[in-house]
């Protein structure tokens, strides 16, 4: 029996096949939906709004799945609708998996022991009820809060992205505190490095990734070099202010090792120029497709030439 490919292998294949390091963030917000989707909401009932979120995300996936390395639904926006929203999250993930896209569930889960195992059971692997490929995880509880997720990655051919150095202004409050010349974020990175060491695929990557914001390019360079075997999920591109030069230090020379997330800037592209003028309300999906193409084109200098 052949072992199924690991999450790190699947992500590398996706980057190469699609010639893209874009991670498309699926962050539905009612107030920002294109009018064509918002118009389907004829009640404030959570299941009605949730159905609109599902439709919105499916239509985005239809036009963009082939263009991106992976997609990242943000659980918070689905949870904000209550249980009906969580049902929609499950539907969106299933739809993406049907299209063959790698799915990172952005839920920043964290707990200890059997509780962490329960979160892993919920989200990681095609046999799990939510069926994600990767899950974001928050490390404040320390090593024994991550290990149950690492075990699940082994069992489910899944991966996690652990928050290391985040993109927000006050992330440094904890992450940058230095003890014996080592900031907290390096301490988290060192643990990641050890977990990956026994789990490398043929390309040299393990299933334990890191979240490192584009807004801190110096730390991104430092962490790229400290974590040669980890995929890095880079938020903070576009709407949060990071540009191509800011993410460059995160990408390995062969074009692997990093995916760059953009959410609002892509999924709500209908509402910004030049797309607002270019497309009618019924053509909002074209704006998503164009914005994704534009982001791929911006980032293409970080990749080897397309075959």
Active site residues: 108
Q: Residue ranges of the alpha helices (H) in the chain?
A: 7-18, 35-38, 46-64, 75-79, 83-98, 113-123, 143-156, 172-175, 184-197, 217-226, 244-247, 264-267, 275-278, 284-299
Q: Which is nearest to 299 in space by CA: 268, 269, 258?
A: 258
* DSSP output for 80-149: TT-HHHHHHHHHHHHHHHHTT-EEEEEEEE---HHHHHHHHHHHBSTTSSS-BSEEEE--TT-HHHHHHH
Interface ranges with its own copies (CB under 8 A): 27, 29, 46, 74, 76-77, 79-87, 89-90, 108-116, 118-119, 121-123, 128-130, 138-145, 163, 166-175, 177-179, 184, 187-188, 191
State the Cα–Cα distance between residues 213 and 169, nearest whole angstrom.
Answer: 10
Nearest approach, Cβ of residue 61 and its own copies (Å):
19
């Amino acid at each position: 029996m052949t072992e199924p490919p690991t999450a790190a292998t699947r992500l590398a294949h996706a980057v190469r096949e699609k010639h893209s390091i874009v991670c498309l963030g699926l962050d539905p917000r009612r107030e920002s939906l294109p009018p064509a989707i918002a118009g389907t909401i004829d009640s404030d009932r959570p299941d009605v709004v949730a159905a609109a979120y599902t439709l919105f995300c499916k239509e985005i996936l239809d036009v963009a799945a082939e263009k991106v390395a992976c997609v990242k639904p943000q659980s918070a926006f689905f949870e904000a609708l209550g249980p009906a929203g969580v049902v929609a999250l499950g539907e969106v993930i299933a739809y993406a998996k049907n299209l063959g896209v790698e799915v990172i569930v952005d839920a920043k889960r964290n707990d200890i022991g059997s509780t962490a195992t329960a979160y892993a059971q919920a989200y990681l692997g095609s046999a799990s009820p939510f069926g994600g490929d990767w899950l974001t995880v928050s490390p404040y509880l320390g090593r024994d809060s991550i290990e149950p997720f690492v075990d699940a990655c082994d069992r489910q051919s899944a991966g996690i992205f652990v928050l290391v150095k985040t993109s927000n202004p006050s992330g440094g409050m904890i992450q940058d505190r230095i003890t014996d010349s080592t900031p907290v974020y390096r301490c988290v990175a060192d643990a990641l490095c050890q977990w990956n060491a026994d789990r490398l695929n043929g390309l040299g990557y393990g299933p334990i990734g890191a979240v490192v914001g584009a807004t801190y390019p110096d730390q991104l360079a430092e962490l790229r070099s400290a974590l040669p075997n980890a995929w890095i999920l880079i938020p903070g591109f576009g709407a949060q202010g990071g540009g191509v030069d800011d993410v460059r230090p995160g990408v390995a020379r062969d074009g692997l090792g990093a995916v760059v997330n953009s959410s609002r800037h892509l999924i709500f592209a209908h509402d910004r120029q030049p797309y607002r003028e270019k497309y009618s309300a019924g053509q909002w999906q074209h704006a998503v497709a164009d914005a994704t193409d534009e982001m791929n084109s911006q980032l293409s200098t970080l990749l080897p030439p397309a075959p």
